[in-house]
Amino acid sequence: MIHRCIVSLTGILLVMVAAAFGSDPPSLTEQQDVMKASQAWLDAFNHRDLQAFASYIADDYIGTTDDGVLTTKDRLVKWLSKKKAAYVQRSNMHDAQVRMDGDTAIVNYLITSKNVWGDTTIVLYLRRTEVFKKKNQKWLVIATHENPLPANFFKAIEIDSMVLKDYLGEYDWPRHEDEDIDKISIENGRLVSLWRGTKQEYQPMAKDTFFSRDDVGWLRFVRDEQGRVTSYIYSYPDGQEVCANKIR
């Protein structure tokens, strides 16, 4: 199932800023310097080195957190000062890309954030965009945006494989376009969805209720009075719902 819940602003930000840049390729050294600044900023975050952390942030910095909250330099440093290192750590920076034009650069990457609440650890996979500007021979971050990637941590349950046959068929989403028809089949004893060219497994979480690992929503199959499946209702995590009717 293609992720249907969160429209990422990261790609939009990257395209809009990069479109304004020139075509001259930056030197490898410049790109490395920007990445070193980004990594050093991350290291200062993890070690709670507030002085070093603040030193990489421009005074006119503006950013948004993973839940869409607007933040400034003062707010960000104050927030970090209240978070023990054991509470929040970010690691596994990868898929990093750099786009540059003169004294402005964009860094985009994936990272894992672990948030500890007592005996519970919450894991978030984030896509971050950082905009740097070179001021007085030092790269300073002037803007950031991040959003969580779709990941589902529901626990799958065991169900009778014979029940899976009840869900076979094609389900039409309300736009009634061919690409929006969800084709559900069984492969190797597992329920599989083919939707918009992407194949994903539907895993059971309750009676007639399923989820997929790369989507934060879930779906519930609806039966008629005779017990036949007639549709499914896809639930967004914020409570909104969409009904897909079975057409074949």
Q: How many CB atoms lie within 10 A of CB 84?
A: 8
Smallest CA-to-CA distance from 20 within 106, 125, 149, 110 is with 106
- Strands 88-101 and 104-117, by their bridges, are antiparallel
Greater model confidence, 14 or 37: 37
- Walk me through the domains of the chain, giving residue ranges and CATH numbers: 10-148 (3.10.450.50), 161-246 (2.40.128.50)
pLDDT at 22 over 70: no
pLDDT at site 67: 84
SS3 state at 196? coil
**Alpha-carbon gap, residue 201 to 71, rounded angstroms:** 38
- Over the stretch 85-106, which tens digit does the pLDDT of each residue have? 999 999 999 999 999 989 999 9
- Over the stretch 159-180, which tens digit does the pLDDT of each residue have? 988 999 999 999 999 999 999 9
pLDDT at 21 over 50: no
- Over the stretch 31-71, which tens digit does the pLDDT of each residue have? 999 999 999 999 999 999 999 999 999 999 999 988 889 99
pLDDT at site 28: 79
- Over the stretch 190-216, which tens digit does the pLDDT of each residue have? 999 999 999 999 999 999 999 999 899
∠ CA(207), CA(152), CA(94), 5° rounding?
A: 160
- Can you give the pTM of this predicted structure? 0.74
pLDDT at 12 over 80: no
Give the pLDDT mean for 127-156. 95
pLDDT at site 138: 96
Q: Which residue matches tokens 């990594």?
A: 39
Q: Which residues contact 80 (CB under 8 A, 6 or more apart)?
A: 45, 48, 50, 53
pLDDT at site 25: 57
**Alpha-carbon gap, residue 128 to 158, rounded angstroms:** 36
pLDDT at 17 over 50: no
- Over the stretch 213-246, which tens digit does the pLDDT of each residue have? 989 999 999 999 999 999 999 999 989 999 999 9
pLDDT at site 31: 93
